[in-house]
């Protein structure tokens, strides 16, 4: 019995790219993710009736090295993780920690009052609370019987 295998050129391209990425990682001695601006800022965003909350994982950064701005409905979080001085006469076996600048801009789901925002940083987690603008908060209308 002859087995027929279907070829998928897209999977071949993806496989070739993965192979090239691994070769570059081995040559450069670190992961491609350590290049400036690549996937360094993972975050969660949710909203309640009164506010939008963003929680971002930023390990290894000092609170003074984080800049947060809101322009219209776009929130931008920028910062820098500074590299410690490398030791001389050392051969690294693995070097994966990320250093350098990072930036992440996201669209906010509603209008917020940036001037009343609260930012807390604890154990490498940034928690940003943005109150919703009054005009977009749900209003309750009471129906009166006559």
- Residue, of 95 and 47, whose pLDDT is higher: 47
Contacts of 4 (CB under 8 A, 6+ apart): none
Nearest to 97 by CA among 127, 61, 133: 61
Arithmetic mean of pLDDT over the chain: 80
Q: Does the pLDDT of residue 129 top 60, yes or no?
A: yes
What is the tens place of the pLDDT at every residue in 6-44? Answer: 666 666 666 777 777 777 766 655 443 333 444 557 889
* pLDDT greater at residue 119 or residue 60: 119
- The domain made up of 33-84+95-136 is a member of CATH 2.60.40.790: yes
**Domain ranges, ordered by start, for the chain:** 33-84+95-136
Q: Which helix (H) or strand (E) holds 9?
A: helix 9-28
* 79 in Cβ contact with 65 (< 8 Å): yes
Tokens of 108: 């906010």
Which residue would you say has higher pLDDT here, 62 or 19? 62
Kindly report, residue by residue over 87-120, the tens digit of the pLDDT.
788 888 887 777 788 888 899 999 999 999 999 9
Contacts of 113 (CB under 8 A, 6+ apart): 130, 131, 132, 133, 134
Q: In what order do the strands lie in the sheet with 125-131?
A: 42-47, 51-57, 125-131, 118-122
């Amino acid at each position: 019995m002859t087995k027929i295998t279907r070829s998928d050129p897209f999977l071949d391209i993806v496989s070739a790219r993965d192979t090239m990425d691994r070769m570059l990682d081995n040559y450069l001695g670190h992961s491609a993710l350590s290049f400036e601006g690549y996937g360094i800022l993972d975050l969660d965003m949710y909203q309640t009736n009164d506010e939008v909350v963003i929680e971002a994982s930023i390990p290894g950064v000092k609170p003074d090295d984080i800049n947060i701005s809101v322009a219209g409905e776009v929130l931008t979080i920028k910062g820098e993780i500074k590299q410690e001085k490398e030791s001389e006469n050392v051969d690294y076996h693995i070097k994966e920690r990320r250093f350098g600048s990072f930036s992440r801009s996201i669209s906010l789901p509603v209008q917020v009052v940036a001037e009343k925002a609260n930012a807390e940083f604890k154990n490498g987690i940034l928690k940003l609370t943005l109150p919703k603008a009054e005009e977009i908060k749900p209003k309750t209308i009471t129906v009166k019987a006559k």
